[in-house]
Chain A
Amino acid sequence: MNLSRVRAVTYKEWREILRDRLFFAMAFGLPVLMFLVLGYGISFDVEKITFAVLDQDRTAMSRDFLHRFIDSRYFDYKGDVSNEHDLDPLLADSDIRFAIIIPPRFQEQLLAGQTTSVQSLIDGVFPYRAEIAKGYLSAIIANFNAQSLADYLARTRGISKEQALSQVSPVRLESRYLYNQALRSQWSMSSGLMMLVLIVTPPILTALGVVREKENGSIYNIYASTISRNEFILGKFVPYLLISCLNILVLWWLVMHIFGTPFKGDPLFYYIASVIYVICTAGIGLLVSVLVRTQISAVTLTMVISFVPAMLYSGLLVPIESMGMGTKTEAHLFPTLYYLRISWGSFLKGLGWAELWFDVTALIFYAILIWVIGFLNFHKRPSE
């Protein structure tokens, strides 16, 4: 390999990037913009769930029960209706996510020491949100029940209210949240977004590198020259890699200072792992560029194999643990899963080489594989 030839290709590529001002600006601007919009926008804190009420009892006790929902920050009260049929259009138009129906004689039954029932209608179109809403509902009802039961016991068995309360809920679960004590989804989202942003922009930047020359016909200059395959691919690759290496630092800064996520791990380890990850992701773009003939297919193919898996199979939006066997295997075929573990491990858990060596090895293996496939498929003598 002749390094001066590599440098020549790199220099040519760099000049081309610089000349295309919009492209150049986007190479640095896109990751930052994407990161900020998604970092602020994506939130899995399920809050302000909209709901409506059908109160067929309208007594002090039913109002007290409903106020537990209305006053909670998890729910957003949208008013009450007088008829069950009025709930259907509200749910169908997504104006509300659930409805609570309180039966007639609610207060009367409870005061008489009888069990009553409250119905809730939950919009199940987004199953995850339905599940959370159901959890909150059950928790509020369980809390109401405990108090109501304690009152009842205090009255009927002649014990004090405190005693009754402790008898009603004998086992209490104390959760200790590790790594993210305040359960800030922005912490896990922003550090996880490093993975997403770094698999979207670097491959798109590089995807056009070789195929552009193919489509323009300028590739024949390369074919006719003395440069070797390796030198050409490497030369094409270096400028985009450097851009991405700089972007890693910018994103890292944003994660820590804009989103306030702590970094507990080893910075050197994390930077090296990130550079290897970028070699993988930018390599995907380059590989695609070598394999296809037109720019549009290069760009769409890159989206298929980088962006879609990053959303679905990385563990950021969809938990890996909950996947079926087939999907889980598939998730392990993409580099995103390993890098997400490295990101969360480094930022939130404070892990380093000792715990994450396997994930880094997987990334190195991935990078080598992409490089070899790309090299074997790039020919200076096209078959046509």
Chain B
Amino acid sequence: MSTHAFLLWWNRIIAMTVKELKQLKRDLVLLLIIAYFFTLDIYMAGNGINLNLHNASVMVIDHDHSAASRELIYRFRQPYFAFKGEITSKNEAENLLNKGRLLAVLDIPENFQSDVLQGKPVAVQLQVDTSNTVLGTLASTYASEIATDYGQELMIKRLGLNTEQMTAIPVIQSQHRVLYNPNRIDSWFMSIMEMFNATTILSMMLPAAAAVREKERGTIEQLTVSPLSSLQILLPKVISMGLVILLGIAVSLFLIIIPAFNLPVKGSISLFFAASALYVFTTSGIGLFIATISRNLGQVSMLVILLMMPILLLSGAWTAPETMPQSIRWAMTISPLYYYNEISYAILLKGAGVDILWDSILGLSALGVVFFSFGVWRFRRQFD
């Protein structure tokens, strides 16, 4: 290709990109939505959302009313539980659990104190609302930890072991070290995840809409009779929307996530942006493909949602890949977000580099090339 042809090729791309940006600029509502997505929406998702059990309401039926039972009740406290007082009957407990006012009811049997002091094993009952399995599981896990700890302390006291002798019993002390997010701050995970949601929704929807709009209005005919090739028509749509989305990512990362939630960026920012550009390119490819098989925006949005929902919810951020059925795990290997999640959380929080992430980056690139060429090929075929 001569220099002239090369320059002409790029000039056309640039001209078309500018056209797309101008068209976007005219839609004020859409611009506002994009701005909202990358700022306020991410702030709200990161702020005040806590995935762990936090202040779960617990009430107690105390049949014993002794020092020992009070001591046990006292341990059901913040951050995991919030003790809401005592009730007297099982019916009342059931009623409150039904209404969702309480997550759990602790039932302490009669003679709790005397049994415990005599070294008889005692069972304490906890009724847990498990209509939400996540909360139910967490509540019963923490509660049994509380009961076990309490029991062991009692045992140690009764055996007459004092704290100095504590090293003289054959037990394992477990030392947990939580890496990358030692204080388990949910805002980091949540805000980054919401940023990816916004990126995914927009990078699928915007280029697809830009492409199908030309069809709906009939302006596609003008483009196809112009000297532009299919690639020159489609690529600018991806470039322009991609630029807007990358700008959005930059805004949310530097103006929201880092200052508001004190995210320590461990890895290379430029690698993160390169991976994000690759991701936007790949998802845009899916969007373009959808645009070529639909005739109007109604069809586009239905198909986008059909693909987007599983991509967003099953790509590893909400549910761990290892817990999903094998067929769905397998299907998720063609989800670009699956690779992007691995890559970007590892870059941002773990400080990983290309040496570790090369396989995921390669997977994402392969998907990008396949989706994009398939989209262009379909687009070209429409007019033959």
Interface residues of A in 182-240 (CB under 8 A from B): 183-185, 187-189, 200-201, 204, 207-208, 212
Indicate if the CB atoms of A44 and B147 lie closer than 8 Å: no
Of A4-12, A47-55, A251-259, which stretch is located at the interface?
Answer: A47-55
Indicate if the CB atoms of B169 and A304 lie closer than 8 Å: no
Kindly name the residue among A93, A187, A201 whose own CB sees the greatest number of chain B CB atoms within 10 A.
Answer: A93
Rounded to whole angstroms, the CA-CA distance of A307 and B352 in the bound complex is: 32
Is B234 on the interface with A (CB-CB < 8 A)? Answer: no
Query: Which B residue sits closest to A184, measured CB to CB?
Result: B133
Is B301 on the interface with A (CB-CB < 8 A)? Answer: yes
Is A142 on the interface with B (CB-CB < 8 A)? Answer: yes
Indicate if the CB atoms of B136 and A324 lie closer than 8 Å: no
Is B155 on the interface with A (CB-CB < 8 A)? Answer: yes
Indicate if the CB atoms of A208 and B298 lie closer than 8 Å: yes
Interface residues of A toward B: which range?
35 or more
Evaluate whether A120 and B306 lie within 8 angstroms (CB atoms) in the complex, with A167-B119, A292-B29 already known: no
Q: Out of A142, A174, A189, A344, which one reaches B126, CB within 8 Å?
A: A174
CB distance from B53 to the nearest CB of A (A): 6
Residues of B with C-beta under 8 A to A207: 301
Is A303 on the interface with B (CB-CB < 8 A)? Answer: yes
Indicate if the CB atoms of B30 and A296 lie closer than 8 Å: yes
Kindly name the residue among B119, B126, B130, B310 whose own CB sees the greatest number of chain A CB atoms within 10 A.
Answer: B130
Residues of B with C-beta under 8 A to A148: 170-172
Query: CB-CB contacts of B165-204 with A at 8 A, as 1s and 0s?
Result: 0111111111111111110111001000010010001100
Is A72 on the interface with B (CB-CB < 8 A)? Answer: no
Interface residues of B in 293-339 (CB under 8 A from A): 294-299, 301-303, 305-306, 309-310, 312-314, 317-320, 322-325, 328
Indicate if the CB atoms of A129 and B320 lie closer than 8 Å: yes
Q: Out of A119, A128, A324, which one reaches B51, CB within 8 Å?
A: A128
Indicate if the CB atoms of A138 and B54 lie closer than 8 Å: no
Indicate if the CB atoms of A296 and B186 lie closer than 8 Å: no
Evaluate whether A322 and B53 lie within 8 angstroms (CB atoms) in the complex, with A171-B148, A327-B48 already known: yes
Indicate if the CB atoms of B178 and A134 lie closer than 8 Å: yes
Rounded to whole angstroms, the CA-CA distance of A204 and B302 in the bound complex is: 7
Q: Out of B33, B154, B319, B342, which one reaches A43, CB within 8 Å?
A: B319
Of B3-11, B37-45, B246-254, B375-383, which stretch is located at the interface?
Answer: B37-45
Interface residues of B toward A: which range?
35 or more
Is B122 on the interface with A (CB-CB < 8 A)? Answer: yes
Indicate if the CB atoms of A23 and B302 lie closer than 8 Å: yes
Is B346 on the interface with A (CB-CB < 8 A)? Answer: yes
Rounded to whole angstroms, the CA-CA distance of A49 and B264 in the bound complex is: 26
Residues of B with C-beta under 8 A to A180: 130-131, 133, 136
Indicate if the CB atoms of A37 and B309 lie closer than 8 Å: yes
Interface residues of A in 31-87 (CB under 8 A from B): 33-34, 37-38, 40-50, 65, 76
Indicate if the CB atoms of B298 and A23 lie closer than 8 Å: yes
Indicate if the CB atoms of B123 and A172 lie closer than 8 Å: yes
Residues of B with C-beta under 8 A to A275: none
Residues of A with C-beta under 8 A to B129: 178-179
Indicate if the CB atoms of A188 and B132 lie closer than 8 Å: yes
CB distance from B302 to the nearest CB of A (A): 4
Q: Out of B100, B126, B171, B174, which one reaches A175, CB within 8 Å?
A: B126
Is B12 on the interface with A (CB-CB < 8 A)? Answer: no
Evaluate whether A40 and B140 lie within 8 angstroms (CB atoms) in the complex, with A145-B171, A171-B124, A319-B53 already known: no
Rounded to whole angstroms, the CA-CA distance of A126 and B295 in the bound complex is: 40
Is A137 on the interface with B (CB-CB < 8 A)? Answer: yes
Residues of B with C-beta under 8 A to A44: 133-134, 137, 319
Indicate if the CB atoms of A117 and B132 lie closer than 8 Å: no
Q: Out of A113, A127, A171, A319, which one reaches B185, CB within 8 Å?
A: A127
Of B205-213, B274-282, B362-370, which stretch is located at the interface?
Answer: B205-213
Interface residues of A in 99-135 (CB under 8 A from B): 109-132, 134-135
Interface of A is mostly: helix
Evaluate whether A319 and B299 lie within 8 angstroms (CB atoms) in the complex, with A127-B51, A127-B189 already known: no
Rounded to whole angstroms, the CA-CA distance of A143 and B154 in the bound complex is: 17
Is A381 on the interface with B (CB-CB < 8 A)? Answer: no
Rounded to whole angstroms, the CA-CA distance of A181 and B351 in the bound complex is: 42
Indicate if the CB atoms of B141 and A122 lie closer than 8 Å: no
Indicate if the CB atoms of A126 and B30 lie closer than 8 Å: no
Evaluate whether A20 and B205 lie within 8 angstroms (CB atoms) in the complex, with A110-B170, A127-B185 already known: no
CB distance from B253 to the nearest CB of A (A): 16
Is B27 on the interface with A (CB-CB < 8 A)? Answer: yes
Indicate if the CB atoms of A89 and B356 lie closer than 8 Å: yes
Evaluate whether A172 and B124 lie within 8 angstroms (CB atoms) in the complex, with A300-B205, A322-B53 already known: yes
Indicate if the CB atoms of B33 and A297 lie closer than 8 Å: yes
Provide a sorted-by-A list of 27 A–B residue pairs whose CB atoms are within 8 angstroms.
A22-B294, A26-B302, A30-B306, A38-B310, A41-B310, A47-B323, A92-B346, A112-B170, A116-B172, A122-B179, A126-B317, A134-B178, A142-B145, A168-B152, A170-B119, A172-B121, A173-B147, A178-B129, A183-B130, A188-B132, A189-B133, A296-B209, A299-B297, A312-B44, A315-B132, A321-B135, A324-B48
Q: List 4 other contacts, CB 8 Å, given A111-B170, A297-B29.
A: A20-B296, A128-B186, A166-B121, A188-B132
- B positions within 8 Å CB-CB of A: 27, 29-30, 33-34, 36-37, 41, 44-45, 47-57, 72, 97-100, 103, 116, 119-138, 140-148, 150-152, 154-155, 158-159, 166-182, 184-186, 189, 194, 197, 201-202, 205-206, 209, 213, 294-299, 301-303, 305-306, 309-310, 312-314, 317-320, 322-325, 328, 342, 345-346, 349-352, 356-357
